[in-house]
Amino acid sequence: MKRVLFIGLGHMGSSLVKGVLKNSNNKIEVFGYDVIKEVQDKAIKNIQGLRPLKDISEIELKKIDYIVIGTRPIDVEPLCKNMDQLNIDGKTIICMANAVTIEDVQNNFVKNKKVSVIRMMPNMNASIQKSVTALATKNASNETMKFVSEMFELCGIVENIDEDKFGTLTAISGCSPSYIISFFKAMTDYAIDKGFEKEQAFRIIEEAIIGSVMNASKSEVELRTMVDQICVPNGSTIEGQKILDNKNFEKIIQEALTAATKKATK
């Protein structure tokens, strides 16, 4: 049984742990550590199967195989240098800190030069096993990548990409739940304001959004052509679409993604 340590048990770290542990047949022993004791205690209490680590120095004692770093980017370097004082050669470091490259992580390991480093970017939907998790590496073995991929497939889908695409990936997957939820909020707020009960509004609009995306992704028709086909002349849809087009809705979304990509790119 492989032993995996998640360092950083905030929202994203806890979501991943929940996703991994939801499958009782995962054959993974999961440990958690957070420098903020209250955050760690809360995660241990609320996530069944998550075992605590009292201190980073216990990595050797607990025979941890894989270490997932979910801290703030600024904390990655001191954390890695701290771990480099231990005997962890041959272990795998998986870092999901924004804009921290494989090389950034690798350079912190002077004594343990044989650590494997994997860069990853999940999203918040891991807790419901609907995450998109991207992975990239330069020195991890095929066997290691297979295990890591299978582990995070417990949280959703996994995509192996080149590291130079991580900025864009972060925008379209890691950041996009915020933008999509903003869209969902606007629609549900409108429905509730017009007299719908919240639960009914959520149910209707959730199904409309999911169904529309599935329909579009499976269609052989160009997406703008689909929009034009839905917008029947003199109908209701085209009146709303005119507003979106006049306000450059697609450009606004792309500007948001560009800003997010820029921030996530190093």
* DSSP codes joined into one string, 202-262: HHHHHHHHHHHHHHHHH-SS-HHHHHHHHS-TTSHHHHHHHHHHHTTHHHHHHHHHHHHHH
Question: How does strand 2-7 pair with strand 66-69?
Answer: parallel
Going by the DSSP 8-state scheme, the letter that residue 127 receives in this structure is G
Does the annotation flag 7 for ligand binding? yes
Cross-strand partners of 95? 69, 119
Does the annotation flag 9 for ligand binding? yes
CA 213 to chain centre: 20
Backbone phi and psi for residue 32, each to the nearest 5 degrees, phi listed first: -135, 145
Does the annotation flag 12 for ligand binding? yes
Q: ∠ CA(259), CA(263), CA(265), 5° rounding? A: 115
Does the annotation flag 10 for ligand binding? yes
Annotated binding site for NADP(+): 7-12
Annotated binding site: 7-12
